[in-house]
Amino acid sequence: MLPVLVVAQQKDLTDTLEFRYGLPVSEDDTSDEVRSDEDPANQWLEVRHSEIPRKLRRILDRKDIYEGWDKGTVYYDKSIDQYLVRMQVGDATRTYGFAANGDQVSFTEERTFTGDSLD
């Protein structure tokens, strides 16, 4: 019996791993890049006060902390089913985030300073 010589050819294995959003993807991956105009963060649309769910409107009307909300602007994001209420209070812009059921989920306050107020 003759010895059999097996020759294996080694492929050039270079690191071709690609990452999207911190996750590895390959050539057969079906994920697509998210274009900036389709970014979910850009889905806030201004809504009329009459389009706000009744339960959320009742909460806004009854709690003193939201006094003046009806003079502000309300936005809705269908993809996350949340509302933003932006209102001016003195030199600050307050933004309240709400779930459609009326639960408050976020709050931010931005103050506008003039040169006079930095004394």
Say which CATH number the domain at 90 has: 3.10.450.360
DSSP 109: E
* Across 4-8, 24-28, 37-41, 95-99, least confident range: 37-41
Token pair of 10 as six digits: 């080694």
Residue 90 lies in a domain: yes
Number of structural domains the chain divides into: 1
- Domain of residue 102, residue span: 43-110
Long-range contacts of 21-27 (CB under 8 A, 24+ apart): none
Q: Encode pLDDT of 21-76 as tens digits.
A: 667 776 665 655 554 444 555 589 999 999 999 999 999 999 999 999 999 999 99
Helix (H) or strand (E) holding 61: helix 54-62
The number of beta carbons lying within 10 Å of the beta carbon of residue 14 is: 6
Nearest partner of 53 among 106, 99, 114, judged by Cα: 99
